[in-house]
Amino acid sequence: MHGGVEDINAKGPDGVLYAQGQDLTFTLMVGSGVRYDFNPRFSVNAGATYMHVSNAYLSEPKYEDFGINVWGPIFGFNMRLGKEKRDSAR
């Protein structure tokens, strides 16, 4: 789960349905997935993520806050760079 405050280039919603009303936005991301390790250096992962971008109604009543909601799959191939860290207890 991630969240944050952003400064976007909204360009104003004039004539654009469902556009952001201002440059200041808040973002929430939630995701889940699985990872399979082939060995300590290589792995693959797959999952899904949902993201919501909104200005938290700060531009109302001048502009309505519709927010942006997106979701999608995530697939990845991971490779460790550098040497594997050794546990000193071994």
Print the domain residue range for 32: 2-79
How many domains, the chain?
A: 1
pTM of the predicted structure, to 2 decimals: 0.65
Report the pLDDT averaged over residues 66-84: 90
Is 64 part of a structural domain of the chain? yes
Is 72 part of a structural domain of the chain? yes
77-84 CB contacts, 8 Å cutoff, 24+ apart: 77/42, 77/43, 77/44, 78/35, 78/42, 78/43, 78/44, 78/45, 79/41, 79/42, 80/40, 80/41, 80/42, 84/40, 84/41
Is 19 part of a structural domain of the chain? yes
pLDDT at 67: 81
Condensed to tens digits (0 to 9), the pLDDT of residues 30-72 reads 999 999 999 989 999 999 999 998 888 777 777 777 788 999 9
Is 86 part of a structural domain of the chain? no
Is 68 part of a structural domain of the chain? yes
Is 85 part of a structural domain of the chain? no
